[in-house]
Structure 1
Amino acid sequence: MQTFRAADGTDLAFSTIGAAGSERPPVLLVPGGPCRGVDYLENLAGAGSDRPIVVLHPRGTPTSGGRSNGWWADADDLIALADHLGLERVDVIGHSAGTRLVLAAAAQSPDRLRRLALVTPAAAWLTDAAWDGDAIGGRRGDPAVIAALESLTGAQPVDQRQWDAARAVEAPAGYAHWTARERAHSTVGGWELEAVEAWFTGVPDDASARILAAPRIPTLVIGGDADILSGVAPVAAYADVLGAELRMIPDCGHYPWVEQPEAFRAELDGWLEG
């Protein structure tokens, strides 16, 4: 892990997945959560074997600390990381909530981002498509999924104890299956309620409009057809309004590198090759 200095003087962390010694320019990656510890990304199923992937540790994550200024303002940190690495234009991967920060950077600094790969994005906020996670797939009768849906659509946590309890109950909704592999992965990468609340502050009312009005950047959206958290219809609508190419991975939840590593690696490696 290394550090760089953001525009406001804050020291933030970054790390590298894959070919750290490669002569090819790195790709930048913004994790989700929001503000979840980046170790949940693992090694992205081995992606980046030929091209390094540099992971931003956003404000509010355990490794960077500090307090988020809101995902719209924190987009400046992505550009600061590119500056630190000496990159004039960058390819960027975003996962889940991190895709908001990526789109904010694309809207505010379109000349700095070359291509985007948005993985299981939090999507319903950008379009009129209603979340359909409660209607997805064959696990609707699973008691763990029923409990997860009740938590996701119920009262929001008000303290860290409730937050931790809700995350544990909701974890099965992130996966197409709930085997030992998924159970173990769901416990990796902690995050704090205060950090999450800060992430959603200070966002301009016209953020969505500014994102949609920004110059189009070539974009790939990777979804999972069993992703209860993001849904399916919102992800398709999201890709459509962004003019993006959509690739849905079958039998896959919110973390495709966990459940469908070969299919995910094929999609992402194809994009990395450009």
Structure 2
Amino acid sequence: MEQAESDDGAPIGFDLVGANPRASGDPVLILPGGPCRDPVYLGDLAGLAENRPLAVVHFRGTPSTGGLSRGWWTDAADAIAVIDQLGLSTVDVIAHSAGTRVALSLATRFPERLRSLALVTPAAAWLTETPHDGAAIATRRPEPEIIEALASMNVEPADENAFQHAWRAEAAAGYARWTTAERQHAQVGSMSLAAAHAWFRDIPADAAARIQNTTLPPTLVLGGADDILSGVETVRAFATALRAELLLIDDCGHYPWIERPEPFRFELERWLTSRGAHSPRR
């Protein structure tokens, strides 16, 4: 793992993934979700690192970076520290789930540093206050695990033990299918209640309005057509508010590089290729 120094002097960890000597272009900045989930759960994003190196940020609150988030709005400065450490003027950004909030903070506060955004299965309802439609999607999934997951999602965990129990109980809702591969992936990458709470502190009351009033770089929203966690209509409204291109992958939940790796990789490689791969060095 490599390190960058943030604006307050804190060390921020990041991994450079993609040792293929044929890989070309600047690293793509990868912002994991969770929030503050150990980014090992991302793997190599269905082989995306074979063609472009990936710089995967370990946010504050993950086991490797330590500490606690200053709130996702402020943590955009940690991503800037990684971009600076890479010596890049501008970057392409791929963010997953909760990490899309940091990506949008980046685009709002540091617009000159971003070349493009790809927001994968974003946490969406908060931006437009569109009612979350995950429960309606779940009616197509009558399995007992889904019923248990929905019940758990309506209860705020009181302590770390309850949080870990809820995370396990809700795992099945993250996927369009609940086979061995999905069950195994759901166990990868730890996160904590303290880190999740810190992620949402000190967020400007007008953050959503500021984001929507910003001229974003070219933005792709990539969702799952069966994503109970993010919803579908909520993601549509999210993409519309951001004036972004929207793509929904069929038979897919919250983790498309696990569930539908081929269309996921194809669409992101198409997107990155259309943006160009090189940035002036700082």
Question: TM-score, normalising length from structure 1?
Answer: 0.97
Distance, in Å, in 2 between the alignment partners of 1:26 and 1:43 is: 13
Give 1:67 shift: 1.1
8 Å CA contact 2:175–2:252 kept in 1: the answer is yes
Distance, in Å, in 2 between the alignment partners of 1:17 and 1:252 is: 25
| 2:212 equivalent to 1:230 | no
Residue 48 (structure 1) aligns with: 49
Distance, in Å, in 2 between the alignment partners of 1:99 and 1:232 is: 16
Give the paired residue count: 273
Which string of whole-angstrom CA distances, capped at 9 and with x for unpartnered residues, describes residues 189-245 of structure 1?
010100000000010101101111112210001000110000000101100110100
Distance, in Å, in 1 between the alignment partners of 2:31 and 2:84 is: 16
Residue 143 (structure 1) aligns with: 144
Residue 81 (structure 1) aligns with: 82
Residue 243 (structure 1) aligns with: 243
Which string of whole-angstrom CA distances, capped at 9 and with x for unpartnered residues, describes residues 49-83 of structure 1?
11111101101011111110000000111111111
Give 1:17 shift: 2.4
Distance, in Å, in 2 between the alignment partners of 1:53 and 1:2 is: 13
Give 1:139 shift: 4.0
| 2:172 equivalent to 1:185 | no
Residue 252 (structure 2) aligns with: 252
| 2:264 equivalent to 1:264 | yes
What is the RMSD of the two structures over their aligned residues, measured on CA atoms? 1.1
Which string of whole-angstrom CA distances, capped at 9 and with x for unpartnered residues, describes residues 3-61 of structure 1?
11111111111002224654411110100000001110011110121111110110101
Give 1:114 shift: 1.0
Map of 1:75-154 to 2, 5 A cutoff? Answer: 75-136=76-137, 139-153=140-154
Distance, in Å, in 2 between the alignment partners of 1:166 and 1:138 is: 20
| 2:13 equivalent to 1:4 | no
Give 1:137 shift: 5.6
After the TM superposition, list the runs of 4 or more consecutive aligned residues in structure 1 that deviate by more than 6 angstroms: none
8 Å CA contact 1:48–1:269 kept in 2: the answer is no
8 Å CA contact 1:134–1:140 kept in 2: the answer is no
8 Å CA contact 1:115–1:219 kept in 2: the answer is yes
Consecutive unaligned residues in structure 1, runs of 5 or more: none
SS at match of 2:270: helix
Distance, in Å, in 1 between the alignment partners of 2:75 and 2:138 is: 35
Give 1:254 shift: 0.1
Question: TM-score, normalising length from structure 2?
Answer: 0.94
Residue 280 (structure 2) aligns with: none
8 Å CA contact 1:19–1:51 kept in 2: the answer is no
The percent identity for this pair of structures is: 53
Letter aligned with residue 143 of structure 2: D
Distance, in Å, in 1 between the alignment partners of 2:57 and 2:216 is: 23
Higher alpha-carbon deviation: 155-164 or 128-137: 128-137
